[in-house]
Amino acid sequence: MFQCALGRLVPRLFPPSPSLDLHVFVDAGGQPARHRVWGGLAAASETAHCWIETAVQDLRVAHPNLVSENREVKGKYLGREVAVQVGQRLRADDPGLLFWTNWYPRSDGEAMHRTQEMIGTFLTHRRVGRTRLDRERVEACFDRSRDYYHRRLTSAVNRHKVVSMLAHLTWLTTRLGAWQLGELLRSVTIVIDNENLPSAPEAGYFIKAFSAALLQNAGMAIRWTGPALFEEANVGAIRVRPDADSSQEPGLQLVDVLLPAVQQRLPDYGRASDDS
C-alpha cells in the first residue's frame, strides 16, 4: 500500500452542528491491474468549490494546447510538473480542501483484507431483530447489497475496483471521525469517475449503503445515515454517483491533474502503459 495526503479539511472555526455539506470527488489513474492509484478530493464549503473551479479554469487558460476537445483538463497531458504546481498552490491558498491518494497493488494487502472483512461483516452480520416491524424491508435491502457484491462483481478486476475504492473512502471517513467532523455533516455527495462497473444503479446503491455505515461510524447523525438503506443512490442526505462524466466535473478533473505527481513515485512506474 502507498498513501499520501495534501491539504486540510478541518475548518479554522467549527460551524454549528450539523451544517457541513461534504462533496467527495473520486478518480483513479493507471490500469486496473497495475499502478491503479485512487485519488480523492474532499470539499466542504463554497470557498473550496470556487477554488476548484478557478484552478481548473486557470489550467485551461495556461495550457490551451493540452486541453481536450470538450475542454477537459487531464493529468496525462499536463504531466507531473503541473501537478506539483497545483499541489503547491493548494497548500499555499489553504481553501479547505483535502486531496488524498491510496495505492492498493494487491488484493491480499492489509488494507484490502481489512476492507473485505468490513464488507463481509456489513453483508452477513447486520441481521434485524425479530421484533422490528420493518424487518422484511430491511432484510430486502441487505439482500440487494449481497446480490450485487456476490453475483454482479464476478470479475476479479471489478471486485478489486470496488473493494479498493471502499478502502479509499474508509481512509477519509476514519479521518472525519478522528477530527470530530462526522457529527457536523448534514449531507455527503460522492462523485466517482465512470469505472464501467456492472449496473451503475446497483453499484451506486451498494457503495451508498456501505458508505452510510462508514459515515455513521464517523459520527454522522443516524437521521441522515439511517434512511440511506431504503433510498436509491442519487437521492437523500447521502448521494453517490458511480458513473460521473469527468468532463462535467471540475473536481474530478483536479483529482486527475494531481494524480501524476503520485503515480510517478510508485515502483516500476512507466514499465507498462499507465494512462488513465
pLDDT, position 136: 83
pLDDT, position 109: 83
Q: Which residues, 6 or more positions from 62, have their beta carbon under 8 angstroms from its beta carbon?
A: none
CB 93 within 8 A of CB 112: no
Residue 142, domain member (yes or no): no
pLDDT, position 27: 96
Cell of 134: 420493518
How far is Cα of residue 75 from the mean position of the Cα atoms in its chain?
18
Chunked into runs of 10 residues, the chain (276 residues) has average pLDDT values of 68 64 92 74 94 97 89 91 94 94 84 92 73 79 93 91 95 95 95 95 97 96 94 97 96 95 72 45
Q: In the beta sheet, which residues pair with residue 99?
A: 6, 41
Residue 274, domain member (yes or no): no
Residue 197, domain member (yes or no): yes
Residue 184, domain member (yes or no): yes
Residue 124, domain member (yes or no): no
Residue 223, domain member (yes or no): yes
Q: Which domain holds residue 34?
A: 2-106+168-263
The count of structural domains within the chain is 1
∠117-119-121 over CA atoms, to 5°? 70
pLDDT, position 1: 60
pLDDT, position 184: 94
Rg (CA), the chain: 19
pLDDT, position 32: 60
The model's pTM: 0.89
pLDDT, position 81: 93
pLDDT, position 276: 42
pLDDT, position 108: 78
pLDDT, position 266: 74
CATH value at residue 237: 3.30.420
Q: Which residues, 6 or more positions from 240, have their beta carbon under 8 angstroms from its beta carbon?
A: 189, 190, 192, 204, 205, 207, 208, 211, 233, 234
Q: In the beta sheet, which residues pair with residue 238?
A: 188
Residue 126, domain member (yes or no): no
Task: Residue count of the chain, please give it.
Answer: 276
Distances (CA, A) of 54 to 51, 63, 251: 5, 14, 11
**Can you give the three-state secondary structure of the chain, one letter per residue?**
CEEEEEECCCCCCCCCCCCEEEEEEEEEEEECCEEEEEEEEEECCHHHHHHHHHHHHHHHHHCHHHCCCCCCCCHHHHHHHHHHHHHHHHHHHCCCEEEEEEECCCCCCHHHHHHHHHHHHHHHCCCCCCCCCCHHHHHHHHHHHHHHHHHHCCCHHHHHHHHHHHHHHHHHHHHHHHCCCHHHEEEEEEEEECCCCCCHHHHHHHHHHHHHHHHHHCCCCHHHHHHHHHCCCCCCCEEEEEEECHHHCHHHHHHHHHHHHHHCCCCCCCCCCCCC
CB 267 within 8 A of CB 28: no
Is the sign of the CA dihedral 243, 245, 246, 252 positive or negative?
negative
